[in-house]
């Protein structure tokens, strides 16, 4: 639907002289690539893990989201530059064709939004596709409004002004998409999880004396992994401590946890027993135990 209407809108925009239609057609061109990329990566991510790619192909989803966000940024910038030129030198517009195509485009985009609505909350990849189509729908609304305004007032500057406003809305969604996908690629702690809470829950387990080398990251949308070291007093505490840690972390949405247990005698002096100071909401500093030469 997007690919077919993209051609219609580009031709109509060229004939009518409406920048909003040309901009929306360019956006739709990006959408065709983005939706195709999203579909390809969604299919690729289903491939099973192997001995070389132990997490499978899940990260392709995040790469697709990053590309989509960057494409949205580039498109919005182009529209703003073109619109500024149109404000300086207004051009005549055929409003009848402008209005008709904008109205049909709105219907097409609303149908696409309805198709994607149920899936856009669970995946960055699907959210990227959804944002592209949402940007198209907003573009159609703006184009239709500009067409009506120009038709009844003759104020042709409304076309580039609406295009700039729509570009700013697109930039907001693109920024969020880029930020979230970059955070995943940098293996940052997920926004909905506090590293301090993870540490606190582990320390609350009976027998756990200290926690260090704690890491929490996102593999792909909805798949959170965690690794860390927990110090226990002696070997017989291992089974109970592992079970307790697993239960303590179960409510945080961590689906893949790896915990290395150590007895106090294995720790070099006080190195393992120093408390982990979390860099997070409190703004304090993270203590890196590897800087002291302690490795496992």
Residues in the chain: 296
Mean pLDDT by runs of 10 across the 296 residues of the chain is 84 79 71 73 74 75 80 81 81 79 87 77 69 77 83 83 79 80 84 86 88 86 84 80 85 82 65 43 38 38
DSSP 162: H
How many angstroms separate the CA atoms of 23 and 191, rounded? 34
Angle at 163 between CA 73 and CA 150, to 5 degrees: 170
* pLDDT value of position 27: 67
pTM of structure: 0.61
Number of other CB atoms surrounding residue 184 within 10 Å: 23
* pLDDT value of position 45: 66
Task: Report the Cα 45 to chain-centroid distance in Å.
Answer: 16
* pLDDT value of position 40: 75
Classify residue 294 as exposed, middle or buried by CB count within 10 Å of its CB (0-12, 13-18, 19+). Answer: middle
Rg (CA), the chain: 26
* pLDDT value of position 295: 38
Q: Where are the beta strands (DSSP E) in 94-138?
A: none
Task: Report the Cα 29 to chain-centroid distance in Å.
Answer: 21
Domains detected in the chain: 2-185 (1.20.1510.10), 195-292 (3.30.70.1350)
């Amino acid at each position: 639907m997007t690919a077919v209407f993209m051609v219609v809108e580009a031709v109509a925009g060229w004939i009518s002289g409406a920048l909003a239609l040309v901009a929306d057609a360019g956006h739709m061109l990006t959408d065709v690539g983005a939706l195709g990329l999203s579909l390809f990566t969604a299919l690729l991510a289903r491939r099973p893990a192997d001995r070389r790619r132990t997490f499978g192909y899940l990260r392709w989803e995040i790469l697709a989201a990053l590309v989509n966000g960057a494409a949205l940024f580039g498109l919005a910038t182009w529209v703003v530059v073109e619109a500024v030129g149109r404000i300086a030198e207004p051009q005549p517009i055929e409003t009848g064709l402008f209005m008709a195509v904008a109205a049909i485009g709105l219907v097409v985009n609303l149908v696409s939004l309805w198709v994607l609505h149920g899936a856009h909350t669970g995946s960055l990849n699907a959210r990227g596709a959804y944002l592209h189509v949402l940007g198209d729908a907003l573009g159609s609304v703006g184009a239709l409004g500009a067409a009506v305004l120009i038709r009844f007032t003759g104020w042709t500057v409304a076309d580039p002004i609406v295009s700039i406003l729509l570009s700013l809305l697109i930039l907001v969604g693109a920024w969020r998409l880029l930020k979230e996908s970059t955070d995943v690629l940098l293996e940052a702690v997920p926004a909905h999880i506090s590293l301090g809470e993870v540490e606190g829950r582990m320390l609350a387990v009976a027998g756990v004396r200290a926690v260090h080398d704690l890491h929490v990251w996102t593999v792909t949308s909805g798949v959170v992994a965690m690794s860390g070291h927990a110090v226990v007093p002696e070997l017989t505490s291992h089974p109970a401590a592992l079970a307790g840690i697993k239960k303590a972390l179960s409510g945080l949405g961590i689906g893949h946890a790896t915990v290395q247990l150590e007895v106090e005698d294995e720790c070099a002096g006080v190195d393992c027993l120093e408390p982990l100071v979390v860099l997070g909401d409190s703004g304090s500093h993270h203590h890196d135990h590897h800087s002291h030469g302690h490795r496992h």
